[in-house]
Structure 1
């Protein structure tokens, strides 16, 4: 554990129990979300991007797209 996190826990000990519990719930949620993001970002994405690019090209060649400007989005 880093020194900064240790200091944060040390300071949190001075809070009332209900605030410590709220802080703990927030921290657990943040850690779980961070783990999910790390897992998601560690997966190879190139296949999905390739699939999307192929679909876009196919749609364009089959007349399923139309050209628009930024002001029409």
Structure 2
């Protein structure tokens, strides 16, 4: 397995086109991981406090139509 330092060195040696491709891939990869984590947290009830807080504010008349 490669170390982070090895990967960093290889990234630093990329030409601009390859670096742009890597950057675009990494952004998509990072977003996909984030989406999976949010979905898992939601399915496990870890975000219920946000729903409850929003519903409480709405019921207290603190929301408005957008």
TM class by shorter chain equals: 0.5 to 0.7
- Cα RMSD of the aligned pairs, angstroms, is 2.2
Does residue 17 of structure 2 align to residue 23 of structure 1? yes
TM-score scaled by length of structure 2? 0.52
Partner residue in 2 for 1:41: 35
4+ runs deviating over 3 angstroms: none
Length-normalised TM-score, structure 1: 0.49
**Distance between the aligned counterparts of 2:50 and 2:15, measured in 1?**
44
State the match for 1:65 in structure 2.
Answer: 63
**What per-residue deviation string (whole Å, max 9, x for no partner) do you get for residues 10-53 of structure 1?**
xxxxxxxxxx82211111101211221121011114132x2332
Aligned pairs, how many?
48
